[in-house]
């Protein structure tokens, strides 16, 4: 499979050397070579930047909904066009199980809260925390999911384990290269970091970190 992408040098002193930006020639080689890439095109079409510092989970959920063509409400200012945004994803009937946008802006989201938000819009998913996935199972899950265009993966990880600045973060996963054993994170904080290829082992370790709000380890959402 071939892809067209304008390669722009990314200058960011906070980008860890072991991560490979997709905008580099090496990053493009990995993308061209990857055979587990079925989600990439749909996610790229739906790619967006989180609208504030705490909305990484919201932006990831919106990307997934749009990339799977889940029926959406109309959007103000776009005539009769319907699509998901970081605002209308919260247009639901009140429910005690759902977090409010005001609370998200204050503290972000947990893995379960992102799952609940997707579930409210009819999207089923399985929540896999880092402590229940060994490395081999995680690698197998990546390959199987990214070979299948009908599902999606959202990862919740600690940036610091990858050598980046920040803390807990969400983003969709878009491709897996078996030769290098690297997975592509489509980073929704595009004002700060590019999308990067990361070693599977490193991402697995970054998931096996404690989320201070939930008291549980981070992990992945496997979305049907």
Secondary structure (H, E, C), the chain: CCCCCCCCCCCCCCCCCCCEECCCHHHHHHHHHCCECCCHHHHHHCCCCCCCCCCHHHHHHHHHHHHCCCCCCECCCCCCCECCCCCHHHCCCCCCCCCCHHHHHHHCCCHHHHHHHHHHCCCCEEEEEHHHCCHHHHHHHHHHHHCCCCCEEEEEEEHHHHCCCCCEEEEEEEEEECCCCEEEECCCCCCCCCCEEEEHHHHHHHHCCECCCCCCECEEEEEC
Give me the torsion for CA of 34, 151, 115, 22, rounded to 10°: 20
What's the pLDDT at 9? 42
CATH for 31-70+100-223 is: 3.90.70.30
Report the pLDDT averaged over residues 137-163.
97
Q: Which range has the worst mean pLDDT, 13-27, 45-59, 119-133, 156-170?
A: 13-27
Residue 169 annotated to the active site: yes
What is the dihedral sign for C-alpha 95, 169, 214, 52?
negative
192/4: higher pLDDT: 192
What's the pLDDT at 3? 47
Q: Which of 56, 158, 177, 202 is catalytic?
A: 56
Closest CA to 194 of 71, 15, 6, 59: 15
What's the pLDDT at 6? 39
What's the pLDDT at 10? 44
Q: Which of 39, 158, 177, 187 is catalytic?
A: 187
What integer best gives the mean pLDDT of the chain? 91
pLDDT band per the 50, 70, 90 thresholds, residue 98: confident
Residue 211 annotated to the active site: no
Q: Which of 39, 151, 158, 169 is catalytic?
A: 169
Report the pLDDT averaged over residues 154-182.
97
pLDDT tens sequence across 203-212:
999 999 999 9
CB 91 within 8 A of CB 178: no
What's the pLDDT at 13? 44
pLDDT band per the 50, 70, 90 thresholds, residue 8: very low
pLDDT band per the 50, 70, 90 thresholds, residue 79: confident
Residue 56 annotated to the active site: yes
pLDDT band per the 50, 70, 90 thresholds, residue 16: confident
Percent of the chain with pLDDT over 70: 91
Q: Which range has the worst mean pLDDT, 50-59, 71-80, 170-179?
A: 71-80
């Amino acid at each position: 499979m071939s892809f067209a992408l304008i390669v722009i040098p990314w200058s960011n002193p906070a980008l860890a050397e072991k991560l490979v930006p997709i905008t580099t020639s090496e990053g493009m080689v990995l993308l061209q070579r990857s055979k587990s890439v079925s989600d990439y095109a749909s996610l790229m079409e739906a790619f967006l930047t989180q609208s504030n510092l705490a909305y990484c989970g919201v932006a990831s959920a919106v990307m997934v909904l749009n990339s799977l063509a889940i029926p959406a409400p109309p959007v103000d200012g776009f005539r009769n066009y319907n699509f998901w945004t970081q605002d209308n994803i919260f247009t639901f009937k009140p429910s005690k199980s759902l977090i409010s946008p005001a609370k998200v802006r204050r503290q972000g989201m947990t893995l379960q809260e992102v799952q609940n938000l997707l579930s409210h819009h009819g999207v089923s998913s399985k929540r896999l925390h880092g402590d229940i996935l060994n490395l081999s199972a995680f690698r197998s899950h990546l390959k199987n999911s990214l070979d299948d265009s009908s599902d999606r993966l959202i990862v919740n990880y600690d940036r610091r384990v990858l050598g980046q600045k920040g803390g807990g973060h969400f983003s969709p996963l878009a491709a897996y290269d078996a030769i290098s054993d690297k997975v592509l994170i489509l980073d929704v904080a595009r004002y700060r970091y590019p999308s990067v290829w990361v070693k599977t082992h490193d991402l697995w370790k970054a998931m096996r970190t404690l989320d201070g709000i939930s008291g549980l380890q981070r992990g992945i959402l496997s979305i049907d």
